[in-house]
Amino acid sequence: MRFYYRAYVACIAIYLAGSSLLLCAQPAPDYVWYRNAVVYALDVDTFKDSNADGIGDFQGLIQQLDYLHGLGITVLWLSPFQPTPDRDDGYDITDYYGVDPRLGTPGDFAEFMFQARQRGMRVIMDLVINHTSDEHPWFRSARQGKHSPYRQWYVWRDNRPADAGKGMVFPGVQKETWTFDSVSTTYYFHRFYDFQPDLNYSNPQVEAESKRIIGYWLNQGFSGFRLDAVPFIIEEDGKNVDRPEHRFDQLVAIRRHIQLHGQEAILLGEANVAPEESNDYFGKDGVGMQMMFNFFVNQHFFYTLATGELQPLVRALEQTRDIPEGAQWANFLRNHDEIDLGRLTTRQREKIYAAMGPDKNMQLYDRGIRRRLAPMLGNNPQRLAMAYSLLFALPGTPVLRYGDEIGMGDDLRLKERLSVRTPMQWTDAPYAGFSTTAPFRPVIDAGEYDYRKINVASQRTDPASLLTLTTKLIRLRKEHPAIGLGKWIISDHKAGDLLITQFTDERETILTVHNFAPNRASAELACPGQVLTDLFSGEDIPVKNGKVQLTVKEYGYHWFQVR
Ligand code: NOJ
Ligand code: CA
C-alpha cells in the first residue's frame, strides 16, 4: 500500500513538474520580436565616412554600431545600398545582387552584418522591386525592342496612352507616367520618375526573379525588408492609374517565400493607404505583411501637434486599431521623404503648412513638407520631448530616423527630399565628424542646427539633451512591453489638451499622459490601482477613490505604472 501511495505521489510530482516545465516553455508574449523592436533608419552614405572620400560607408557604420547599441536600438533599417546611378538616392537600382562600391566591398558589407549580429541587433533592408533604374541591364536590353528577352519585364505601349499625364507619385516634378523611349520608339510605364521604369509583375519571370532577390539577401543575414512602394508593386501596371486593382495574393506569395527562407523574417510595408484598406495588406488572418508604417496616424499626429486638437489623432488611432493578430504598426515621426499629408482634408493640411512649413520652398508634391522634425516643431525642446515621448507610447513599434535623436535640422537649398538627408552630425569637428573631407552632400553648418551646436558628442554628456531623453525613452519602452503588445484604451475624458492612454498586459498597466498645449493642463483621471508611480521621476501619486487629480506642464508628459 505504502509503495502504491509513494508511486502515486511521485506520479503527481512528475506531472506537476512536467506541466510547470511546459508552462515555462510557453513563449513570452514578446517573442514576436518585431512587435517590441526599436527601429533606426539610416542611409549608409550619410552616416559615417571611414576612408576620407566624403561618402559614408559600411566601415564607418561599423565604427558607430556601439553608439546605436548604447542608444538601445534593436533593428537597423538600411536604405538602398545596391549599385545605383543615384538619381533617386539609391531607389534606382542597377544590380540587385551587389553592394554600391562607394559604400564598400561585399566583404565590408558582410563584416557589418557580422558586427551588428555580435551586438544582438537585427538588420532589415529596403527592397525596391517596383521599378529598376533605367540603366539596369534588364531595361537596357528591354529597350532594344520586342525581341529582347527582357522586353516583357517592363510595361510598354506602342502609342501614348490617354492618361499618361495622370497618377504621378511626384506631382509638380514628374510630368507623366508614360515616357517615350527613343530606342524602341514606344512608351514605358513609370509610377515614379521617368528613370524608374516599373517592373511588370504580371510576368511570372519577374515574380520569380524578385523571389531570388529576397532569398539572396535573407541568406546574407537580413531579418526582413522594408518593402518599398507596396501598392504600386501589386497594382495592374498602367491600367486605371487613379483607381487601380490590387493583387493582394502577390503579397501573400512574397510573405510565404520570405518565411521559407527565414522563419522569423518580416515585411515592413510602405503603403500609405486608408485605414479600411490596411487589412488587405496585413492579409486576412495575418498572412500578408507583418508590419506597415502607420502613415494615417502619422499625419494626424502632426495635425494634433500643429493645432492642439486631440480628437483627429484619437480617431486615427481608433480607426487603425483592428489589425490581425501578430500584425503590428510601425510608428514614426519623420522619415527620409517629405511628410505626406495627403490623407488629411485641405483645411487640415493648410493648418499644418501654416504652423510647420509656411514657405512654398518647404512644401513638396502638393501634399507634404520637406523638413526635419526639429524645425517643424520650432526647435522647442519641451515640444520635441513630448512628441518623442508619444512616439514611444503609441501602440506599435517605434521607428527613429537617424539624426532626429539629436534634433538635426534640414537644408532647404537641397532639392526635393534631399533637404532631410544631410550627413549625420557626430561632433563639432570640421564636417561634423562625419568625414575628414568635404562630404558629397553638405553638412549643416549655419544657423540654429549648425553641427557645432547640434551633435552627438555634446549631447551625450548633457543630461538635459534630446539624445539623453531618447536613450531613456528607449530603455523605458523596452522595460514596459505592454505598450507594444498589450491592450490599450484612450481615456474618454473632457480635459481638452491631454491625451491619456492606458496599456495593459498580463504583467502590468501603464498610463501615459501627453499635453499638446503650450500651457498647463489638468484632468481628473479614473485609475484602476492605488498608486501611480511616475516612471521618469520615481515619484508616487496616491489614487483616491479610483481617481487622481493631475496637472501637467506645457507640452509635458508622464508615464505611470499603476500599482
Ligand atoms: C518610396 C521611397 O521612400 C522614396 O524615397 C522613393 O523615391 C520612392 N519610393 C521610389 O522608390
Ligand atoms: Ca567613404
CA of 435 to the centre of ligand 2 (A): 8
Helix, strand, or coil here: 430? helix
Partners of 363 in the beta sheet? 369
pLDDT (0 to 100) of residue 20 = 41
Asked if residue 241 lies in contact with residue 163, where contact means CB atoms within 8 angstroms, the answer is yes
pLDDT (0 to 100) of residue 285 = 87
CA of 169 to the centre of ligand 1 (A): 9
Q: Would the CB of 302 count as within 6 Å of ligand 1?
A: no
Residue 51's CB is within 10 A of a number of other CB atoms, namely 14
Residues labelled catalytic: 228, 270
pLDDT (0 to 100) of residue 303 = 98
CA of 57 to the centre of ligand 2 (A): 5
Q: Would the CB of 562 count as within 6 Å of ligand 1?
A: no
Least confident of 220-229, 314-323, 338-347, 523-532: 523-532
Place of cell 551587389: 98
Q: Which fold has domain 487-562?
A: Immunoglobulin-like (2.60.40)
pLDDT (0 to 100) of residue 161 = 97
How far apart CA 555 and CA 552 sit, in angstroms, is: 8
Q: What is the CATH number of domain 33-130+211-478?
A: 3.20.20.80
Helix, strand, or coil here: 464? coil
Per-residue pLDDT band for 494 (boundaries 50, 70, 90) equals: low
What is the grid cell recorded at 542? 496616491
Q: Would the CB of 88 count as within 6 Å of ligand 1?
A: yes
Residue 1's CB is within 10 A of a number of other CB atoms, namely 5
Ligand nearest to the CA of 421: 1
Domain positions in the chain: 33-130+211-478, 137-189, 487-562
Q: Which spans in 81-161 are helix H?
A: 106-118, 137-142
Complete DSSP assignment for 290-342: SEEE-HHHHHHHHHHHHH---HHHHHHHHHT----TT-EEEEES--SSPEE-T
**Residue 320: is its pLDDT beyond 60?**
yes
Torsion of CA 329, 332, 337, 338, to 10 degrees: 110
Ligand nearest to the CA of 50: 2
CA of 90 to the centre of ligand 2 (A): 16
Complete DSSP assignment for 5-61: HHHHHHHHHHHHHHHHHHHHHSPPTT-SGGGG--EEEE-GGGT--SSSSSS--HHHH
pLDDT tens-digit profile of 443-458? 999 999 999 999 999 9
What is the position in ligand 1's atom list of the atom closest to the CA of 131?
11
Ligand nearest to the CA of 440: 2
**Residue 7: is its pLDDT beyond 70?**
no
Per-residue pLDDT band for 4 (boundaries 50, 70, 90) equals: low
CA of 202 to the centre of ligand 1 (A): 22
How far apart CA 403 and CA 372 sit, in angstroms, is: 9
What is the position in ligand 1's atom list of the atom closest to the CA of 130?
11
**Residue 28: is its pLDDT beyond 60?**
no
Contacts with 559 (C-beta within 8 Å, 6 or more apart), sequence order: 389, 393, 476, 480, 510, 511, 512, 534, 535, 536
262 compared with 545, residue with greater pLDDT: 545
Q: Would the CB of 128 count as within 6 Å of ligand 1?
A: yes
pLDDT tens-digit profile of 157-183? 999 999 999 999 999 999 999 999 999
**Residue 529: is its pLDDT beyond 60?**
yes
Partners of 41 in the beta sheet? 77, 401
pTM of structure: 0.94
**Residue 140: is its pLDDT beyond 90?**
yes
Average pLDDT for 60-68:
98
Per-residue pLDDT band for 1 (boundaries 50, 70, 90) equals: very low
Place of cell 562600391: 101
Distance of CA 275 to the CA centre of its chain: 17
SS3 content of the chain, % helix, strand, coil (to 5): 35, 20, 45
pLDDT (0 to 100) of residue 177 = 97
Torsion of CA 80, 85, 88, 93, to 10 degrees: -40
How far apart CA 275 and CA 316 sit, in angstroms, is: 8
What is the grid cell recorded at 120? 544582438
**Residue 84: is its pLDDT beyond 70?**
yes
**Residue 29: is its pLDDT beyond 50?**
no
**CATH architecture, domain defined by 137-189:** Alpha-Beta Complex (3.90)
CA of 487 to the centre of ligand 2 (A): 46
Average pLDDT for 76-95:
98
Q: Would the CB of 92 count as within 6 Å of ligand 1?
A: no
**Residue 23: is its pLDDT beyond 50?**
no
Partners of 560 in the beta sheet? 511, 534
How far apart CA 211 and CA 290 sit, in angstroms, is: 18
Most ligand 1 atoms within 8 A of CB, residue of 88, 131, 334 to mutate: 88
What is the position in ligand 1's atom list of the atom closest to the CA of 335?
3
Asked if residue 421 lies in contact with residue 46, where contact means CB atoms within 8 angstroms, the answer is yes
Residue 154's CB is within 10 A of a number of other CB atoms, namely 27
Q: Would the CB of 339 count as within 6 Å of ligand 1?
A: no
pLDDT (0 to 100) of residue 5 = 54
DSSP letter at 80?
P
- Report the 3 state secondary structure along 474-505: HHHHHHCCHHHHCEEEECCCCCCCEEEEEEEC
pLDDT (0 to 100) of residue 8 = 53
25 compared with 143, residue with greater pLDDT: 143
Most ligand 1 atoms within 8 A of CB, residue of 93, 128, 401 to mutate: 128
pLDDT tens-digit profile of 249-284? 999 999 999 999 878 999 999 999 999 999 999 998
pLDDT tens-digit profile of 352-378? 999 999 999 999 999 999 999 999 999
Closest C-alpha residue for ligand 1 atom 6: 91
pLDDT tens-digit profile of 388-431? 999 999 999 999 999 999 999 999 999 999 999 999 999 999 99
Average pLDDT for 465-472:
98
Ligand nearest to the CA of 131: 1
Phi, psi of 291 (to 5 degrees): -135, 150
Q: Would the CB of 410 count as within 6 Å of ligand 1?
A: no
pLDDT (0 to 100) of residue 10 = 52
Average pLDDT, the chain: 94
pLDDT (0 to 100) of residue 24 = 38
